Amino acid sequence: MIRVNPSTSSLNTREYFSTKFTKTAAPSLVLSAGSCCVGCVSDLPAIANLTDPSDEITNDKTDFILFVGKGTTVVGTLIKIAPDGTETDVVITDDSYGNFYDTDVLKTSYWGFLLDWYSVASKLGFGRYKFNISVTNIVGTEVYNEDSPCFRLLPYSCDNAHRTIRITTEQKGYFEGGFDYTGLSYDLDGEIKTTWRQEIRLWGRFFRSTRRLETDNIVTKDRGQEQIQAQTVKVFSLLLDTIQPNVSNRILDDMLLAPEVYINDYNINGETVENNERVTLTGLGDPVINSLSREEFYNIELEEFFQNNLHRYK
């Protein structure tokens, strides 16, 4: 969710998760993040199921990955925010709250953390959280310090998950002018991974909006249409509600371009149950901008990845 990149990178890296673009003295760093703004913006939803920690559908994770210069020190801090605004800090140094990858573990000069909301809920309880990233250079000067957007962690129930969707991807490759995911190699719960798992829960809906019909025919001598094959392809709409640009930038410019994209819909009144539907991005609608806030609304078009409902003849 948060990216730090040197401005001198050969890939001309840029931010994905911030309306800010901050540069500091060499080594230049960019931290992509947002900030909590009570009364201004919506918290990102997160859920955890304390009765079934093995159920991936009802337990969320949130990813953070950074590329930093040599000799820098990265400190990640999970912050619980009490109703009165009091903050409790938990510095991440191990796997107590997720999968922690200190600098150079994923690959040289990379730092990562896959926050496990079940671990957070079981140890710290439900409530409001944010994540802070600070980066200190080789001479001990803090060159960056910023918070993520806020998260509202709730126990899983149909009502608490209602009106939310979850996007999960396996990202690899690199972006010209963006982030470089190549060369990763790390252990994730006993599996050696070379892709980076991304995950985010948002307010919105995901549903099958139509089916596209594709047919191949030959014309007979009497001008008839003789079918060779016919296919239907499911087309989906992803509606994102009250989404901030510092979040939508990352989703549209990174996550939905991943080679593997999976979406879950948690709406109680959904026409069908969409669990881990693998999809491919086919269209980006223009955002509907709320002039009274920083929030946007998107209608994104995707289609099913496995297009195997194909009728042929032997």
Tell me whether residue 74 is in a domain: yes
Total structural domains within the chain: 1
CA gap 45, 54 in Å, rounded: 20
- Pick from 32-36, 161-165, 179-183: least confident: 32-36
Say yes or no to pLDDT of 227 above 90. Answer: no
Tell me whether residue 269 is in a domain: no
Residue that wins the pLDDT comparison between 179 and 69? 179
Tell me whether residue 243 is in a domain: no
Tell me whether residue 46 is in a domain: yes
Tell me whether residue 80 is in a domain: yes
Angle, CA of 132, 145 and 198, to the nearest 5°? 45
- The answer to whether 232 and 211 are in contact (CB under 8 A) is yes
Tell me whether residue 296 is in a domain: no
pTM, entire model:
0.84
CA gap 146, 128 in Å, rounded: 17
- Condensed to tens digits (0 to 9), the pLDDT of residues 197-218 reads 999 999 999 999 999 998 888 8
- Condensed to tens digits (0 to 9), the pLDDT of residues 291-314 reads 666 778 889 999 998 988 888 888
Tell me whether residue 229 is in a domain: no
Tell me whether residue 67 is in a domain: yes
Domain that holds residue 34: 4-204
Q: What is the pLDDT averaged over residues 183-209?
A: 95
Q: Which two tokens stand for residue 232?
A: 């239907």
Q: Of 10, 4, 7, 8, which Cα lies nearest the Cα of 174?
A: 10
Q: What is the pLDDT of residue 102?
A: 95
DSSP β-bridge partners for residue 288:
297
